[in-house]
Structure 1
């Protein structure tokens, strides 16, 4: 069955299929365009019985090691119960990977409820959306930092909020840029609320965004989306603001980054993980060269290696992900050159995936130390913050000459990927 682009007439059937799969209501009342910034794909059921399967590919950008890479966020993956087990899921996901390739995405990202079916398509778990239950009474003892005060976030203050978030993005891996059209410039609607912490000169130094919710089973009556401060004292001031809610609710559910600074400020040891299922974050390399060239090279890293990425997963090799590459670093910049693919590397294939501008009469990578990664190791490592030794400990194929391993570990170092948004 053919995978096709969905249009306005498909919005209600798509929402009905998502409601069937995930719960929730159908908001559309008739034909209407899908939200901009995404590519909805679907498969029609036999006999004109509506949609059998559908998903959306978001057009996001994410942080990678101080740079920015385009990323296809996969959401709303739904297959009607009458058509499960017939191969529609793999066909739909293969089309989504192909669409990300066409759109020039470096990565694909998703939140799986069943990681195994996505791993078979080349996705690798790289992180998780961490949410912690923070007892609010424990925060009351945090000393008040001098020279700081809080102010409510209004529409006029949203540029300051976005600028603070972007500072955090630039220093991390995996965080979404929260750009239009998927993210609006306007202030989010209630119950979203936020406060800024300002210094004595009135400069915004951090912000806390949250929503008051009905008390959950863990006593949580606040959901905290972002708690971000430039320095330790700014984080402390925002945590003190959270403490003021202890008179009406017991705890807050706080989304955190990997190695979040707030964990070093919270006193006591009663913080605990969210008792609900923790969403995993899986990523897949779509374009190896784009994923590497998106990041700056660390200061002092010079030289080049030969990198081979193999992809033997379900949808077949993604041309931009698999192959031989010469990866070089100099003057803070990463350069990637695709090398001519050798016939013996693709048994039974007579199609030449090498771009026409690649010279075949020379091997610019001759003599360079080499590294060999399968698609899962490449997806783990190129997302940042992990070493080749980490990949091997996970049982992934990550082999390298010592010099190439040191080069890649230096190039791809940094915080482990963090994600604060769901889609």
Structure 2
């Protein structure tokens, strides 16, 4: 089995593999896929497993910016992992994903995330459950109780606003010390902002993306940096309540709309879970944001059979909102984390949970520092 970059000449085979794995694509979806995938090909972010020239498996590494405690870093979002039906059960999925992890390291991405179709494969390679995309369903009429406060200027937005939207996300996620959310590159944002059936509105410190879905309203994004803008944007969505019965919205777990509503007794919520892996421990610690008030250190031992550079004894130091990982010797009693365990810790899973799940063992003296340093409530607004 040969692992190599997917090229434009392989796209028909990739689309056939996607159809066999996930079902038929519409003509519009095929056209969108081809538009989106070409930058990925040029950047070496699409890998295939070939046997005698036949495509047996493929996977894409989407280039995202992801925030951790308000600090952005590049992240490989793994998507489109497909294995031909006749090759399943032969270890081909593990083979292509090992290549993906190595390619992420070569590309300089210290962390990676994915939405799993199946958990065991990814967990066996060091990915662990970390956060979720949160979807709430609200009675549309409940948004009518939100009254805009102040004079917030809203305007319709389009493809030429892509750079402004990205800059706005950077400001808002940094200010809120967000963990987990991602942003696409400007080229992809330009495609999203050209959708003719979407309603797109921009304010100085927020924006909204929503559409009709049958008789419901579907909200992709309402992001706001102030109570005035949050009220204005959600009130705007609520103007459809005379026709729409429900609003289905992707929100942060602590989105202000859940506190702006006068009545919350009838909402429903669901989660689409995503998994996360630390690819380069040293860089991941250096690039992450940390609580500015914390000035402490902890020692951990990490076991990572796929990434030898991550394995071993580490001293983690936190000060002034920054962190560093350096090699340590002589700490025989340090807690031990698997690759999965360290990835989950990085994403804010509490130490007590890691210990009860068997992802962390050994000395407990550093537990309180680790909980304080890595505390997070990770989420994503985007599915990929």
Could you tell me the TM-score, scaled by structure 2's length?
A: 0.88
* Partner Cα distance (2:122, 2:244) in 1: 39
Equivalent of residue 121 in structure 2, options 102, 117, 120: 117
> Cα–Cα, structure 1 residues 226 and 70, in superposed 2: closer, same or farther, change >3 Å?
same
Q: For structure 1, which segment, 290-299 or 133-142, has the greater mean C-alpha deviation from structure 2 after superposition?
A: 290-299
Partner of 1:336: 325
Partner of 2:273: 280
Q: 1:367: Cα distance to partner?
A: 6.3
Q: Does 1:372 align with 2:372?
A: no
Partner of 2:168: 164
Q: 1:331: Cα distance to partner?
A: 4.0
Pairwise mapping of residues 122-201 of structure 1 onto structure 2 (< 5 A)? Answer: 122-154=126-158, 157-170=161-174, 171-180=177-186, 182-184=188-190, 187-197=193-203
Q: For structure 1, which segment, 159-168 or 404-413, has the greater mean C-alpha deviation from structure 2 after superposition?
A: 159-168
* Partner Cα distance (1:158, 1:40) in 2: 24
Q: For structure 1, which segment, 231-240 or 245-254, has the greater mean C-alpha deviation from structure 2 after superposition?
A: 231-240
Partner of 2:352: 389
Partner of 1:89: 93
Q: Which runs of 5+ in 1 are unaligned?
A: 198-203, 340-362
Partner of 1:234: 229
Q: 1:184: Cα distance to partner?
A: 4.1
Q: Does 1:14 align with 2:20?
A: no
* Partner Cα distance (2:51, 2:243) in 1: 50
Pairwise mapping of residues 196-211 of structure 1 onto structure 2 (< 5 A)? Answer: 196-197=202-203, 204-211=204-211
1:51-86 Cα offsets, whole Å, 9 max, x none, are 111111123231112222322111111111111111
Question: RMSD in angstroms over aligned alpha carbons?
Answer: 2.7
Q: 1:159: Cα distance to partner?
A: 4.6
Partner of 1:4: 4
* Partner Cα distance (1:237, 1:328) in 2: 42
* Partner Cα distance (1:186, 1:84) in 2: 34
* Partner Cα distance (2:340, 2:192) in 1: 38
Partner of 2:218: 223
Partner of 1:318: 307
Q: For structure 1, which segment, 244-253 or 388-397, has the greater mean C-alpha deviation from structure 2 after superposition?
A: 388-397
Partner of 1:105: 109
Cα pair 2:112 2:279 within 8 Å, conserved: yes
Q: 1:20: Cα distance to partner?
A: 2.1
Instruction: Report how many residues are paired.
Output: 374
Q: Does 1:422 align with 2:377?
A: no
Cα pair 1:307 1:324 within 8 Å, conserved: yes
Cα pair 2:292 2:322 within 8 Å, conserved: no
Cα pair 1:305 1:371 within 8 Å, conserved: no
Partner of 1:245: 240
SS of corresponding position for 2:45: strand
Q: Does 1:301 align with 2:263?
A: no
* Partner Cα distance (2:358, 2:262) in 1: 37
SS of corresponding position for 1:35: helix
Q: Which runs of 5+ in 2 are unaligned?
A: none
Q: Does 1:289 align with 2:251?
A: no
1:235-273 Cα offsets, whole Å, 9 max, x none, are 222221111112232112100112222111123222113
1:356-406 Cα offsets, whole Å, 9 max, x none, are xxxxxxx4xx569833212222111112x332123224442254442x222
Q: 1:16: Cα distance to partner?
A: 1.7
Partner of 1:351: none
> Cα–Cα, structure 1 residues 71 and 155, in superposed 2: closer, same or farther, change >3 Å?
closer
Largest Rg, 1 or 2: 1
SS of corresponding position for 1:420: coil
Q: 1:191: Cα distance to partner?
A: 2.0
Cα pair 2:145 2:261 within 8 Å, conserved: no
SS of corresponding position for 1:244: helix
Could you tell me the TM-score, scaled by structure 1's length?
A: 0.80
* Partner Cα distance (2:218, 2:147) in 1: 23
> Cα–Cα, structure 1 residues 233 and 338, in superposed 2: closer, same or farther, change >3 Å?
same
Cα pair 1:140 1:243 within 8 Å, conserved: yes
* Partner Cα distance (2:141, 2:294) in 1: 47
* Partner Cα distance (1:25, 1:144) in 2: 40
